[in-house]
Amino acid sequence: MKTIATAVAAAIFATSASAATLSHDADDFTGTKTPAFGTLADPVATFFIDQGVDYSWGNVEGVFADGAEGALCGINGSNSCDLVTDVDGRIVVAGTTTQGLTSSIIVEAGYAAAGSLTLSVFDVNMNLITSAVNGSPAGPNGRQTMSIDLSGSNDIAFWSVSGADSYGVNYVEIGTPVSVGAVPLPAGLPLIATGMAAFAVARRRNKA
């Protein structure tokens, strides 16, 4: 059974990797690790912007040793990595701090109980789009994952992980971000705009 589960997880991540994606692992952070339940050493901030995520937005994040792996933790108001403060990020155009948008995100987090963590994604106006809870399959570090796929609709601008259990975020994978201006308007909007312009012209003529 374990072999089957491992194969399923590998197939899902292989499929994701075949699409245009960017990913980062907390172990890639080269700053000083923060002790679990200790005072922040080095903030993650813009360290992962080459991978399309800016952690200088929203809560402050640090990286702590989650067993043999590194994990992102939210930093609370007392400047401590308490393992329950939300971890959040802003989608950016890779290598910049320019606001970006993506259509998919996978977050691996451990070791919280299944269903106790929630991944939420938001649009550019911070409206909640949808959410997902942690469970199978396991991610690259063997922890549970949460995933959201908007089927090619690049609407995700921000994301956050909140929990009813202690946790750390080990791995994040997103669809390669596009700039906000690169997202096309719905097909009907130009027609609506044309109709509104014609209506305005007609009203001006009637008033004349």
Per-residue model confidence as pLDDT tens digits over 117-175: 999 999 999 999 999 999 999 999 999 999 999 999 999 999 999 999 999 999 999 99
What is the average per-residue pLDDT within 105-122? 98
* CA distance to 45, 86, 101, 203, per residue, from 118 (Å): 22, 10, 20, 51
Whether the pLDDT of residue 90 is over 50: the answer is yes
Structural tokens at position 80: 């401590």
Smallest Cα–Cα separation from 154: which of 133, 190, 124, 110? Answer: 124
* Contacts with 41 (C-beta within 8 Å, 6 or more apart), sequence order: 31, 32, 33, 34, 35, 62
Residue with tokens 């499929």: 15
> What is the distance between the alpha carbons of residues 92 and 158, in angstroms, rounded to a whole number?
9
Q: How high is the pLDDT of residue 126?
A: 98
Q: What's the alpha-carbon Rg for the chain, to the nearest Å?
A: 20
Task: Specify the pTM.
Answer: 0.80
Grouping H, G, I as helix, E, B as strand and the rest as coil, residue 195 is helix
Q: Work out the pLDDT band at 19, boundaries 50, 70, 90.
A: low
Smallest Cα–Cα separation from 70: which of 154, 2, 171, 198? Answer: 171
CB-CB neighbours of 111 under 10 Å: 15
Q: How high is the pLDDT of residue 45?
A: 99
